Amino acid sequence: MSDVLDLPIPFAALRVGASRTMRFEGKDYGSGISFFFVDNDPGMGPGLHRHPYTETWTVVEGEATITIDGRAIVARAGDTAVVAVNTWHGFTNTGDGALRILCIHDSPEIIQEFLYEE
């Protein structure tokens, strides 16, 4: 990595496949955090998984049902939720439109263990 980054980082460099989701791994850009910016349709979301660090979500638009250690909570635009280290969690877009949620990982790289194969 060079000392000077080309900024801003274009969406295409962070895009996950053909989806509308971005994956930013801080280690690639000299940052101590990583994130997903998820933009998905109703019914979509990751299965139960955990990380060896905390994760913080902020719902930018829409509604998510977030499951944390077996407990479901509903988060809407403007809401923030935090999950502890090594806690099984996931979320689903339970709204009528797009869910845009920022998932901040307290790690320079994203490390995920899924409960079930994805």
How many Cβ atoms are within 10 Å of 57's Cβ, its own excluded?
A: 22
**Calpha distance 36→104 (Å, rounded):** 7
pLDDT at 7: 86
DSSP alpha helices (H): ranges in the chain? 11-14
CA-nearest of 118, 77, 82, 79 to 98 is 77
pLDDT at 3: 58
- With beta carbons less than 8 A apart as the criterion, state whether 92 and 65 touch: yes
The full set of domains in the chain, from first to last, is 19-113 (2.60.120.10)
pLDDT at 5: 72
Ranges of residues in the chain whose predicted pLDDT is under 70: 1-4, 118
pLDDT at 28: 94
